[in-house]
Structure 1
């Protein structure tokens, strides 16, 4: 266990693979791959599916694929206010995001915080647009809109959320391997 400052974060690092002789995972290398939009393999089907887990009213988990973005050291997602994930995070912000990157699987746990500040909405909408989804801030209020979205999102505008990270678990499949928990 150690405490390190990475990207301005003080984090506690626990090498969960130590008993098996595995080295701790390097968070800076993981963050670099997330920043680059790293996929598990260049030709992998569904190579960037990102999974969001929220908590249903009865305490059971709800897991769904989302078009999340990694930006500024965390994940961002959007959804309609009436969707199950939208209702879930409005009631209980605890959630997790899971994604595979080149040679590793990453799970970030934290709280979903709704983003309503116009500058932040414009920046994240531009980031989505730069990746091919033509999102833009909605003129009618604190959300985003686009000419299309998954039908399950309901009509625009859609709420934007930033995951306030609490911890991450990274499993590295490539040699020498690794399994490490990071608490931010």
Structure 2
């Protein structure tokens, strides 16, 4: 649970209420596509869409060890993961900021592999081997991002910006 929940009045309707973290978690769990922002070695941002699962208080994603995002994470683990809608008149957008930590525990990886299948179907079934996922595309490193700070953006009749700090 967050240590602090705050509605920012600068970006919120006067009648808006702070978002509930449990509802944000439900949205994070249900989302199908997320956008990951990492930092390149020269400081430029790198943004890419990916799939992820929410488990044990964190978002989890995977990437090949030679992909740009994995190379970025080896130098700088700070990330932002976003999800929501591209509509201005309805929906709820979420931003999760934290550090990506590689998951290598094989028991944990097996549980995450099953979570991928449950959420995305058999096409996303992975074997667990040598501290990583292994699938048709080769080896994939798995990362966990526990929120340090998260933001929720309510849209529609009552715009609101909630910040959760952990």
Given the two structures, how large is their TM-score scaled by the length of structure 2? 0.86
The Cα offsets for residues 12-56 of structure 1, whole Å up to 9 and x where unpaired, read as 122113664122112122212333x15xxxxxxxxx321000010
In structure 1, the gaps of 5 or more residues are: 1-8, 39-47, 149-155
- Structure 2 distance, partners of 1:62, 1:82, is 15
3-state secondary structure, aligned to 2:72: helix
Question: Where does residue 116 of structure 1 map in the other structure?
Answer: 104
Alignment RMSD = 1.8
TM-score, normalisation: structure 1: 0.78
Determine if contact 2:36/2:49 at 8 Å carries over to the other structure. Answer: yes
What residue number does 1:137 align with?
A: 128
Moved over 4 A (4+): none
Q: State the SS of the aligned residue for 1:57.
A: coil
> Which secondary structure state, in structure 2, belongs to the residue aligned with residue 137 of structure 1?
strand
Q: CA deviation at 1:10?
A: 4.1
Look up the match of 2:21: 27
CA distance in 2, matches of 1:175, 1:70: 29
* Superposition pairs of residues 6-155 of structure 1, within 5 angstroms: 9-17=1-9, 20-21=13-14, 22-35=16-29, 37-38=30-31, 48-100=32-84, 103-130=91-118, 131-132=120-121, 133-138=124-129, 141-148=130-137
What secondary structure is seen at the aligned counterpart in 1 of 2:25?
A: helix
Q: Is the 8 A contact 1:49 1:67 kept in 2?
A: yes
Q: Gaps (5+ residues) in structure 2?
A: none
Q: What secondary structure sits across from 1:157 in the alignment?
A: strand
Instruction: Name 1:153's counterpart in structure 2.
Output: none
User: Quick check: 1:179 aligned with 2:155?
Assistant: no
Q: Distance in 2 between matches of 1:30 and 1:157?
A: 31
Greater RCO between the two (CA within 8 Å, min separation 6)? 2
The answer to whether the 8 Å contact 1:54/1:85 transfers is: yes
Q: 1:151 — aligned with what?
A: none
Q: Is the 8 A contact 1:104 1:171 kept in 2?
A: yes
Per-residue CA deviations over 1:99-155 (Å, capped at 9, x if unaligned) read: 0168200000000000000111101111112221112212xx11001224xxxxxxx
Q: Distance in 1 between the 2:55 and 2:9 partners?
A: 28
